[in-house]
Amino acid sequence: MDNVYYFIAYVKNIITLFCASLKNHYLGFLRVHLQFCKRYLEVHNKASNIACRADLGKFPLIIDINKKILNYLNYPREKEESSLVKQSLKISIDLHYIGHNSFYSSLMKMTDYYNFCDFNCNSLNEGKIKQYVDLMKKKYISY
């Protein structure tokens, strides 16, 4: 079991470095997308970013990413107990409860940020996910 923890730590380091480079590309894409929205609406460059996106019915890509993360949580539930996917989720949950950063702890931070008061990853379904996405969109608009 110790080898699994070492392997997960190794993979986490690689993924962290990869995600850092993706974040830079993602932020650049968001800037270009926002400039496109403002030019399409023919507003000044200093116009409110939120108002421009909301006027076009667009929301930040992070909402779609968070939706995919929530949809992913259904995948391990369908797997056998001995599968690597299910075991890695259990390890992530264990790491969260002993105070280490993990996928599950990031998920819990997201649920706290968006105030998902009744969140339970074992009882997610399409209706709940849609409800959570609607909450994310409302929080964005009210911000």
pLDDT digits (tens, 9 = 90+) for 47-62: 888 778 777 777 777 8
Q: Exposed, middle or buried by CB within 10 Å (0-12, 13-18, 19+), for 42?
A: exposed
If you average pLDDT over residues 1-20, what whole number do you get?
Answer: 64
Name the more confident of 119 and 16: 119
pTM metric for this prediction: 0.63
> Rounded CA gap, 16 and 18, in Å?
5
Q: Taking 60 as the threshold, does the pLDDT of residue 83 lie above it? A: yes
Q: Taking 60 as the threshold, does the pLDDT of residue 1 lie above it? A: no
> Rounded CA gap, 68 and 82, in Å?
24
> Rounded CA gap, 15 and 21, in Å?
10
Q: Quick one: tokens of 11?
A: 């993979």
Q: Quick one: tokens of 27?
A: 């932020």
Name the more confident of 29 and 74: 74
Instruction: Give me the pLDDT at residue 123, please.
Output: 83
Are 52 and 41 a contacting pair, CB within 8 Å? Answer: yes
